Structure 1
């Protein structure tokens, strides 16, 4: 399977398996909500979820019992507060216990870069003065063979599958996104399989200053899913739904209210893309 696909459901069914390590990346905008919701509908289990900044989407996936482990560097409802389903899993084991592996932003970014380069680890000066190395098995110290300086090594990230959202793809399956970018490119290149949802398919990708192009040959599947980043936004296509981020705080505080909302708005819906 490669190139443009007609169905997000088919793309998820072909790429995500129980027990996989799954990254859904996007920073502030282009968060692949539609892809995450389809994974929820297909009831994948025992996943290791990876994301630099898990927010509402991962709160939903954790609350639906999909995640056995979370690898991350920050977690919260941006501009609002805590992720209550995340907290409930960590503090109370509901709906299941959640193992945590915490890193700094720099550590996570460097782990993706190492994975994309097929290197076993990355080296940085971060983590000094923190207790993360003593509590995280994928962080260790290493001595530079040239200067003798003691540095931090972080194990490479190699997800089984990565999902990102982008603005455009051409008919050959090449993808382009622009605006604020996080580690989408690195996540795609580090993963064994990569799926991109896009706002639209165009005949040709027009050059844009600062845009990132993902060539078709590094992607497993590309699916047209207009609005696939909502309630986050896609620059040039949609606006962020700030009201939803605020409303989620109350929805997610109560287990029954959360479950009812997910049944009505995720489990009971089918994406056309």
Structure 2
């Protein structure tokens, strides 16, 4: 059964130096508060998985938390590049970052395979692309029934998956509504999981037809962090903070400006600072 605890304790207990960590959320429900707690606790040598690494991974990489990134697209959505990611890859600052690039389809299938406890994912993909030339983990098999050549990638089985959701009940079940990505698959594939939520409730009440519920037996730790997905949005709670994404571009371009911003807005603050974004998701911190 999931333990309902503080965010600091959830990260301290479940995220260790050298772990492989998947922090998922597709535009919606990105676990920023949890990522910032990893930075505050100074975790190092992480292998980060994510289908669409954006600002939170730029911050983790820029603060020296990651040694490797496994991903299928990376950028500041609607704005441009991730400058801390680029600096690590191109210039080795704060240290060299190893990258392993896939397609979205490959990552989604790899999470599915991990959730099913399979060694690899098989799918139709990579036809006419050059990624297999630079990524040796992309391989092919021949279907024993049809003779068709199919692409394969290793299953993703992270040490810990971290996601943000809307609600958890007091028994440890977790509710997602609105746009979902591969949060469910990431949690089911992982050895341990940390879920931050907008609120802990006695009962979920009426839920929508597209709701996803993670059962308590699949979740390791739950932390109530209102506003914990900011600057992304939480369906029914607050909007996406577009100003934050725009403001991040000049902040991230310069190393000293980046470090100063991280000190003021992450290192010197705790998860309680997110509460105001649950009420007003339109205010960009530090911008």
TM class by smaller structure: over 0.9
Give the aligned partner of residue 280 of structure 2. none
Corresponding residue for residue 111 of structure 2: 112
Matches within 5 A, 1:53-68: 53-68=52-67
Deviations 1:216-249 (A, max 9, x none): 1000001110000001110100111100100000
> Which residue in the other structure is 1:268 paired with?
268
Distance 1:217 1:205 in 2: 17
Show the counterpart of 2:49. Answer: 50
Structure 2: how far apart are the matches of 1:20 and 1:171?
Answer: 28
Residue 65 (structure 1) shift: 0.6
Distance 2:116 2:14 in 1: 22
Deviant stretches of 4+, over 3 Å: none
1:258 maps onto 2:261 in alignment: no
Q: Secondary structure at the residue paired with 1:70?
A: strand
- Which residue is equivalent to 1:154? 153
1:94-113 maps to which residues of 2 (within 5 A)? 94-113=93-112
TM-score, scaled relative to structure 2: 0.93
Q: Do the aligned residues in 2 keep the contact of 1:23 with 1:159 (CA within 8 Å)?
A: yes
The residue that corresponds to 2:167 in the other structure is 168
Q: Which residue of 2 aligns with 1:32?
A: 31
- After TM superposition, give the deviation of residue 209 of structure 1 in Å: 1.1
Q: What CA distance in whole angstroms lies between the structure 1 residues aligned with 2:180 and 2:54?
A: 16
**Aligned 1:123-272 pairs, distance under 5 A:** 123-206=122-205, 207-272=207-272
TM superposition shift of 1:82? 0.4
CA contact (8 A) 1:164 1:196 kept: yes
Check whether the contact 2:5–2:221 (CA below 8 A) recurs between aligned residues. no
Separation (CA, whole Å) in 1 of partners of 2:244 and 2:192: 31
> Alpha-carbon deviation of 1:208?
2.0
Q: Structure 1: any 5+ residue segments left out of the alignment?
A: none
Conserved? CA contact 1:73–1:108, under 8 Å: yes
* C-alpha contact (below 8 Å) 1:4/1:171 kept by paired residues: no
| 1:134 CA displacement | 2.2
Other-structure match for 2:282: none
- Distance in 1 between residues matched to 2:93 and 2:153, nearest whole Å: 30
Deviation at 1:131, TM superposition (A): 1.6
- State the alpha-carbon separation in 2 of the partners of residues 76 and 70 from structure 1: 13
2:177–2:211 contact (8 Å) kept in structure 1: yes
